[in-house]
Chain A
């Protein structure tokens, strides 16, 4: 472990790059947020108050009417039908103060999925409602759902990556190593996949998923679909690299020692592509995140009642909604921030591992 912090390693270089450092800090915060989602979230994923659909964000007060400092408190909203505009208007109800409580009891959950507990970072007194970022159409807390949604949006890309890259590596490795007819056939198949505009293929695949699946089945299949879209282009590059590596002497040596082909490909050839693979992997995480959120945004990815940033942003599709309820745009902002941070880190990784590339520096 110590070695990683010594000079001239990937991590020490990354820590010296200002942009990458900012990116890594932001990502750290995001991932801590989703890891401790149940602890931080004041409400559970499914909690809903049907009387408070599209409630605006709760206002937190630290100074009371007399102008004295006070323990932070909030007011509830009252919903009233406005006969002039035919809309539901929200008004702050100043009759009752609700004090915030820290590290106090809320809904039951398992801390880190193991320890059953009721303690939450922040809650509000009973009958008070604490919606940091307002509520959605069903009166669910947006802030809590963003945390739970992040659990899906920020992990699905990685999972897809860990399916598509091994496939791409092996596929490209075999095609490049054997060459000839095998290579020809394998590459034509990969090209066929690449010939369909990826988003068209993505939505077609997502649309044929049966509707009556459990949410974990759906999550798995969406991951598989994302991986399926990604491997072909990657395998082509690997094949190109393998073509040039396979004629080198150490491969010949291994052949002469009688190693079988698969062993040569996996043990001797593919490790040579490592720095390209690391760069390509870091740079492709954002693509997967964007693909998942795009799918869910269209209603083809993660489905309600599960939250993902994409399907939360779906509510912002109606412009009546976004004009009167700008807090519904927060999921989009989070996708943007996450993708930006991954890009910053990815660019730095590329600069370090591929010194010839001058795209950034």
Chain B
């Protein structure tokens, strides 16, 4: 099966899954004893007409399955309702999604750049002092709670004044030139990325080390060595290519845990991402926004897994897509 056909098939398979996710999210929200319009009613900037329109759109007096149907039909048309602040939910999501993607993608790239070589190094120097030290560091990195580490870095940022606290951009960002904009965002992103990288680095490094150790014992590696291939060729041409495959599979999983981990980090650093948006929505009982964020979170996760599967196909020709 060619890759485009495979992608199409996977996307079609995703639809029933998303339908289930939406039913579940909807039921969870309906379990809540809160009046979904309570916050809207309290906001004086929202006109009674808007309120009435929301009531009709949500169909609050209808039975629950009809309410769900109404939500689904307006959602497929791209109308996700309005949030308690009176803005359109879709606008708020669009504003936040790129920020979260930026944070997670930078984290994944950096994690890989650091973890893979460290994993290879640890495997090649199995049971050496460096290997032991790396194991200890990775245990520490895995155990530190993201929010606690973020708090520690926050103290560091405030005490030294080296890093801005909170947000993604400084005041007057619009007036900067491209280069300044880039530097400014990098400056803001540094600490959140550091937190998320530290936390996911450990697992990935261990995984890489484990894969590499397994592969180095395989018969074809012994064969390669026996026929007198230089050690570099054995490791980088034969062992590495095979050891990296399980890592690609982990990419999807990595993305999922990053989305979750990012929520707390975004909260501590006041980073304008999706995680903080859903958190604020949840705290304010902004029903429309919570519902939409759960769906977007699920879509991002499913897409992440799909991308990981396609990448796996690209790096490992043995895998058949079906």
Contact = CB atoms under 8 A, between A and B. Distances in A.
Contacts of B140: 340
A203 B263 contact: yes
Nearest to A287: B257
B293 interface: yes
A329 interface: yes
Nearest to B203: A359
B143 A322 contact: no
Interface stretch (B151-159, B170-178, B188-196, B226-234): B151-159
Contacts of A126: none
Interface string B254-293: 0010011101100110000001001100110100001001
A207 B213 contact: no
Interface string B195-219: 0000000000011011001100000
B300 to A, nearest CB: 8
Given A195-B298, A195-B302, A197-B297, A329 B152 contact: yes
A5 interface: no
Q: How large is the interface on A (under 10, 10 to 19, 20 to 34, 35 or more residues)?
A: 35 or more
A55 to B, nearest CB: 20
Nearest to A290: B145
Contact of A208 (B20, B32, B143): B32
B165 interface: yes
A196 B210 CA distance: 29
A207 B21 contact: no
Interface stretch (A102-110, A134-142, A245-253, A292-300): A292-300
A204 B282 contact: yes
B8 interface: no
B9 to A, nearest CB: 16
Interface stretch (A85-93, A185-193, A266-274): A185-193
Interface in A301-332: 313, 316-317, 319, 322-323, 329, 332
A312 B255 CA distance: 30
B75 interface: no
Most buried by A among B31, B143, B148, B297: B148
A195 B18 CA distance: 8
Q: Looking at chain A's contact residues, is the secondary structure mostly helix, strand, loop, or mixed?
A: helix
A329 B165 CA distance: 19
Interface in B127-153: 135, 139-140, 142-148, 151-152
Interface string B4-35: 00000000000011101100110011011110
A192 B151 contact: no
A197 B32 CA distance: 20
Contact of B159 (A298, A323, A329): A323
B20 A200 contact: no
Given A188-B20, A323-B159, A200 B260 contact: yes
A205 interface: yes
B260 A199 contact: yes
Interface residues of B, number: 58
B305 to A, nearest CB: 9
Nearest to A319: B158
Contacts of A298: 264, 267, 279, 283
A192 B152 CA distance: 35
A361 to B, nearest CB: 8
B307 interface: no
A193 B24 CA distance: 8
Nearest to B212: A358
A4 B12 CA distance: 53
A196 B135 contact: no
Nearest to A339: B143
A161 B131 CA distance: 33
Nearest to A329: B151
Contacts of B18: 195
B266 to A, nearest CB: 11
Given A208-B31, A210-B33, A340 B297 contact: no
A199 B21 contact: no
A204 B25 contact: yes
B224 interface: no
Given A204-B290, A208-B29, A322-B151, A197 B260 contact: yes
Most buried by A among B17, B151, B159, B293: B151
B214 A207 contact: no
A294 B261 CA distance: 10
A335 interface: yes
A313 B147 contact: yes
Contacts of B261: 199
Given A323-B155, A360-B135, A201 B294 contact: yes
B84 to A, nearest CB: 14
B268 A196 contact: no
B143 A199 contact: no
A344 interface: yes
12 contacts: A191-B20, A195-B302, A197-B297, A197-B298, A199-B264, A204-B25, A204-B29, A206-B282, A208-B32, A329-B151, A343-B139, A357-B210
Given A329-B151, A332-B151, 9 more contacts: A195-B301, A205-B28, A207-B290, A319-B154, A336-B144, A343-B139, A347-B139, A358-B214, A359-B207
Nearest 8 pairs of A and B residues by beta carbon:
A199-B260, A332-B148, A208-B32, A340-B143, A192-B20, A207-B282, A197-B259, A359-B210
